[in-house]
Structure 1
Amino acid sequence: MVRKGQQGQQQTVKAARRPELRLPELTGWGGGELEPDGDYDGLEFADLDLAGQEGIGARFMDCALRRCALDEAGLAKARILDSVLEGVRGVGTDLSGASLRDVELVDARMGGVQMHGAVLERVVVRGGKIDYLNLRKARLKDVVFEGCVLVEPDFAGAVLERVEFRDCGLRGVDFSGVRMADVDLRGVSVLEIARGVEALGGAVISPGQLFELAPAMAAQLGVRVVP
């Protein structure tokens, strides 16, 4: 799909830049609990129960977290850089104010993840299912959601730039007050907008999605459709 610029020329939607991860040879995590402001570099956390551990402000660089439990883990303001999170699971994980850059999140099974105020740049979320993801007032730039299901995600007040949704489901999404630029929703298989249909300026949708969203858009404009 294309759009016309001010001079009438056609412009394609700007694609998100994906992370290019090349993890070094990793060292297995030797055990113990995460520590606030901890510094973790070149480590692999595999098949661990990290539930309830406190890593507030921690830094993860060139790391892999595989099949770890993150229930109620405290990772507020953590920095996750050039890393892979694969098969992680958990409820109530706190990543509020965290920074994720050049990260792949693969096949996650999570619920109630707190990421309000977080900053995501060059992040791919591939596969899996996340319920009640809180991204209020977060900043997302060059982020791709691919083949995943998001149930009642909350983007209220967030800023989305070059964000793509590919072959994924958005159920009960809240876009209230979102600012969008080059947000591609055409690949969403299920698009259910609970709130914020008026904030879709800057997004790209398909003709079929426009037809499905027409009643909500008409209601937002105060238009009555009478046969």
Structure 2
Amino acid sequence: MRTSTIGDVKVLLPDLEPDDLDTTTDLTGGLTEALVEGAAWHGSHLEDVSIRSSLLTGVDLSESTWEADSLYGCEIARTDFSGATLTGITIERSAITGSRFTGTRLTDVRLKDVLFDGCRFDYATLQRVTASGSVAFTDCTLTNGAWSSCRLPRVALRSCDLGGLELESCRLDGADLRGSRLQGVKTPLDNLSGVTLDEEQLPDLTQLTVAALALTVRND
């Protein structure tokens, strides 16, 4: 295992060697120590399917449905999850980079030691997503998404675009939002209780506060 440190968050990640993995595009019964490149699994229905210690690159999982079971010890790169529905799965000790989650629905998903780097979550819906260990989003696009009843304490959201993101009944206490764009975030202020910001984000926070409290600002 290797580690990646983002701010104060240290994420445990897999260290896979492609030469040690078995090449396949067959998802039947799940994957263990598999190397998958360019598989076309658009619209697949996955139920109780686990993927462990595997490397997936350039896979098409758009419009797919994945219910229950887990993703453990995996590296996923340039994979398309757009329009997919992920329900009741656990993602642990995994790195997901350069992947697309546009319009994806994640419900009752549990995260532990997960890194999302350079991913798109625009228009994605996260409901009751929880972090039970270190979780980081770096250089991700989270615009116009909707997060509700999520429990993501101490998550790192570094250098991400949060424009237009809606937060409802979420707990982000201790989250590190430094370097992220907050302009246009739609949320009651208590959803941001205890987060860490940098000075350059204070103007965005001021605008958010004015909108959240329906304040009138007048110069006369």
Which bin holds the TM-score, normalised by the shorter protein? Answer: 0.7 to 0.9
Q: SS at the partner of 1:198?
A: helix
1:125 aligns with 116
The answer (yes or no) to whether the contact 2:186–2:208 under 8 Å persists in 1 is no
Contact 1:55 1:78 (8 Å CA) reproduced: no
Change (3 A) 1:110 1:220: closer
Q: Distance in 1 between matches of 2:44 and 2:161?
A: 31
Greater share of residues in strand: 1
| Counterpart-to-counterpart distance in 2, 1:112 and 1:78 | 22
Distance 1:161 1:126, change over 3 A: same
Q: Which residue of 2 aligns with 1:58?
A: 49
Larger displacement relative to structure 2 (47-56 or 186-195): 186-195
Q: Is residue 27 from structure 1 mapped to residue 22 from structure 2 by the alignment?
A: yes
SS for the counterpart of 1:17 is strand
Shift of 1:114: 1.3
Aligned equivalents of 2:184, 2:110: Cα separation in 1: 25
**For residue 172 of structure 1, what is the amino acid of its counterpart?**
G
Partner of 1:145: 137
The separation in 2 between residues aligned to 1:221 and 1:192, in whole angstroms, is 14
Aligned to 2:93: 102
Aligned to 1:15: 8
Aligned alpha-carbon RMSD (Å): 2.0
Structure 1: gaps (5+ residues): 1-13
Aligned partners of 1:174 and 1:196 also within 8 Å: no
Give the conservation status (yes or no) of the 8 Å contact 2:179–2:201. Answer: no
Structure 2 residue 171 is matched with structure 1 residue 203:
no
1:116, 1:154 → 2: CA distance? 12
Q: Distance in 1 between matches of 2:58 and 2:31?
A: 18
Task: Give the conservation status (yes or no) of the 8 Å contact 2:188–2:212.
Answer: no
Give matches, 1:82-101, under 5 Å. 82-101=73-92
TM-score, length-scaled by structure 1: 0.84
Cross-structure match for 2:154 = 162
Distance 1:15 1:112, change over 3 A: same
- Asked if the contact 2:173–2:192 (Cα under 8 Å) also holds between the matched residues in 1, the reply is no
Deviation at 1:190?
5.2
Question: Is residue 190 of structure 2 the alignment partner of residue 194 of structure 1?
Answer: no
Unaligned 5+ segments in structure 2 are 1-6
- How many pairs does the alignment contain? 210
Choose 105-114 or 189-198, whichever is displaced more.
189-198
**Equivalent of residue 166 in structure 2, options 174, 177, 185:** 174
Aligned residue identity for 2:167: F
Shift of the 168–219 alpha-carbon distance from structure 1 to 2, 3 Å rule, reads closer
**Does the CA contact (< 8 Å) of 1:90 and 1:111 recur in 2?**
yes
Moved over 4 A (4+): none
Contact 2:13–2:95 (8 Å) recurs in 1: no
Question: Normalization by structure 2: what TM-score?
Answer: 0.86
**1:139-163, Cα deviation, whole Å (9 max, x unpaired):** 0241111122122222211011221
Paired residue for 2:35? 44
Distance in 2 (alpha carbons) for counterparts of 1:63 and 1:19: 16
Once the two structures are overlaid, the 10-residue window that deviates more, 108-117 or 42-51, is 108-117
